[in-house]
Structure 1
Amino acid sequence: MILRRTCKQASHLVLQAEDTVLPIKEKLALRLHLWACTACTRFSSQVRLMRQATARWRHYGDDSSGD
């Protein structure tokens, strides 16, 4: 199948999607893979969590609450 991706390819796409917009074909292939693969879905969630935590950490010292 033309949209079938391995876990290695899907992991690469998850990471690539953090930096750039994926082409529609790759976005669809990734979605299909994540629909069927629990491990890659978990990896995608972990990457999203790390991105959110890093963003919060980056702004951690920005709060000038008068300390």
Structure 2
Amino acid sequence: MQSCKRATELMSQQLDRELSASEKLGLKMHLLMCRHCRKCEQQLGIIHQLCARRGDTPPDGE
């Protein structure tokens, strides 16, 4: 199982780009086993939605 650190990196990256098949699978497997990361993914999604509603965008280069 991948680490929670790697899982959170992938969760963040999937908001900006399409994950590879192996990344998606690894993340999915981790999320099946880790309730803390499932909660983190849910919270990241909420933050992303709220920022999109406000029209916030990340600074250039990020």
Which TM-score tier does this pair reach, normalised by the shorter chain? 0.7 to 0.9
The sequence identity of aligned pairs, in percent, is 34
Structure 1 stretches of 5 or more lacking a match?
Answer: 60-67
Aligned mates of 1:20, 1:10 — CA distance in 2: 15
> Is 1:40 matched with 2:18?
no
Misfit runs of 4+, over 4 Å: none
> Is 1:19 matched with 2:16?
yes
- State the TM-score, normalized to the length of structure 2: 0.84
- Deviation, structure 1 residue 21: 0.4
Who wins on radius of gyration, i.e. which is larger? 1
Aligned to 1:18, the other structure's residue is in SS state coil
Partner in structure 2 of residue 54 of structure 1: 51
- State the TM-score, normalized to the length of structure 1: 0.78
Higher helix fraction: Structure 1 or Structure 2?
Answer: 1
Aligned residue pairs total 56
**Structure 1 vs Structure 2 CA RMSD:** 1.3
Aligned mates of 1:31, 1:18 — CA distance in 2: 15
Matched AA of 1:54: C
Structure 2 stretches of 5 or more lacking a match?
Answer: 57-62
